Amino acid sequence: MFNPDSWTLFQGLAVFSLCALVIGVAGTRITRVADQLADRTGLGEATVGAVLLGGATSLGGSVMSVTAAWNGNADLAVSNALGGIAVQTFFLAVADMVYRRANLEHAAASVPNMMQNALLIFLLGLILMAPLLPDFTLLSIHPVTPLLFCVYVYGIHLVHKSHNKPMWAPTKTSETRKDISADVGTLPSLARLSTEFFALFVVLGIAGFMLEPSATAIISETGLTQTIVGVMLTAISTSIPELVTSVAAVRRGALTLAVGGIIGGNAFDTLFTAASDIAYRDGSIYHTMDDSTLFWVCLTLLMSAVLMMGLIRREREGPGRIGLESVINIVLYIGGAMLLLNNM
């Protein structure tokens, strides 16, 4: 059963679809719990979106990348991690379409969200630089790997600090939505919320573990490259929670959580690559990245920069009543996917 080499294409697709469904359902449920935890703990939607929600909804993809790297499928591990960042940024544009009152980046303007996006750009820059550095490893781990973890931890500290003691604030407008906590007395207990969050966390991890053998079976039976399967299949399926949760958060009016969950999840996703390098036993995983994967890193970095400019510019309305940065990122993602498929 657990030997993907013996699975047929039908079995691979069936397991893949089931895992994607589980990730979608559990990821949707965990959003509401994360929003309540933000109010119960007083950490704020941006911080909880970055750490708890971003990490939890990304767990399936993280486990999948690490499992792929451990099994020697380096291209699948890296492309899944980096492909998820691009598709989640694309999903933020979809959430912008759902929120019709104004540009989502305008309404959810906050210093922590911009700090998270700056952290994401920094981490992506390190990953893009890694293949250009000497192919040196210690215990099969490249020096960039611990650096990614250290930068992420320090960056999250700065995000939390910017929430508690911001040095400046975006101009308030009639469309700006502030992070307002719910009445704590109406919320479930912290113990109950934590238990439910942990249970959903475990479910997402198991689903992510099962995605890797199903993806391997699909690659074997169809002849598709690991990069295409990673970017177009596993990355999208493991990012379903981000799409569902961001749209659900927008509908509930938790705009800061919607944007923070996506950007925070993206920053967390860069650690997929670092964790995959630890699991990959044949040297530096960064130096296995082919041109297609490097192209996707560049595309992701470009989309993140466009989003950063949108967060700073804060356009009220753009083409089709969505932000111009959303339009640009939609074009960039679809164009990148078409180029990738054309180079099969």
Could you report the per-residue pLDDT of 55-95, keeping only the tens digit for each? 666 777 888 889 899 989 998 999 988 888 898 888 888 88
CA pair distance 165, 112, nearest whole angstrom: 10
Q: Residue 275 pLDDT > 90, yes or no?
A: yes
Helices 74-98 and 240-251: crossing angle, nearest 10°? Answer: 20
CA pair distance 100, 322, nearest whole angstrom: 8
pLDDT at 298: 93
Mean of pLDDT values over 210-233: 85
Counting the structural domains of the chain, the total is: 1
Q: What is the pLDDT of residues 158-191, one digit of tens each?
A: 887 876 776 666 666 655 555 555 555 667 787 8
Give residue 145's domain range.
Answer: 4-342
CA pair distance 114, 294, nearest whole angstrom: 25
What is each CA distance from 72 to 7, 8, 67, 142, 344, in whole angstroms?
19, 21, 9, 16, 21
Which pLDDT band holds residue 213 (cuts at 50, 70, 90)? confident
What percent of the chain has pLDDT above 70? 79
What percent of the chain has pLDDT above 90? 21
Q: What is the pLDDT of residues 21-48, one digit of tens each?
A: 888 788 777 767 776 776 677 665 555 6
CA pair distance 205, 210, nearest whole angstrom: 9
Q: What is the pLDDT of residues 97-156, one digit of tens each?
A: 777 666 676 666 678 788 888 999 999 999 999 999 999 999 899 999 999 999 999 998
Q: Is 220 helix (H, G, I), strand (E, B) or coil?
A: helix
User: Among 267, 255, 245, which residue's Cα sits nearest to residue 91?
Assistant: 245
CATH number at residue 231: 1.20.1420.30
Mean of pLDDT values over 199-226: 84
DSSP string, 264-311: HHHHHHHHHHHHHHHH--SS-SGGG--HHHHHHHHHHHHHHHHHHHHH
Phi, psi torsion values for 282, nearest 5 degrees: -105, 30
CA atoms within 13 A on the CB side of 208: 31
